[in-house]
Amino acid sequence: MEEERAFSTGKLFQSLGNFCRKFLFRILSVGPIPSHIAFIMDGNRRYAKKNDLEEGSGHKAGFITLMSMLKYCYELGVKHVTIYAFSIENFKRKPEEVQYVMDLMQEKIEGLLKEESIVNQYGIRVYFIGNLKLLNEPVRAATERAMIATANNTKCVLLICVAYTSSDEIVHAVQESCRHKWDEIRTSNGVKKDKWDDIVESKGLKIDKGDEIQELNGVESEEKLEECRVIQLVDLEKHMYMAVAPDPDILIRSSGETRLSNFLLWQSTNTLLSCPRALWPDMGLWHFVWAVLNFQQKYSYLEKKKKQL
Which residues belong to the active site? 42
Q: Distance from CA of residue 139 to its chain's centroid? A: 17
SS3 15: helix
The SS3 call for residue 252 is strand
Q: What gap in Å lies between CA 20 and CA 25, rounded to an integer?
A: 9
Beta-carbon contacts of residue 174 (< 8 Å; ≥ 6 apart): 231, 236
For residue 195, how many other CB atoms are within 10 A of its CB?
Answer: 12
For 148, the 3-state DSSP assignment is: helix
Look at residues 73, 38, 42, 14 and name the one whose alpha carbon lies nearest to residue 266. Answer: 38
Cβ–Cβ under 8 Å, residues 272 and 37: no
Q: Residue 90: in which H helix or E strand, if any?
A: none
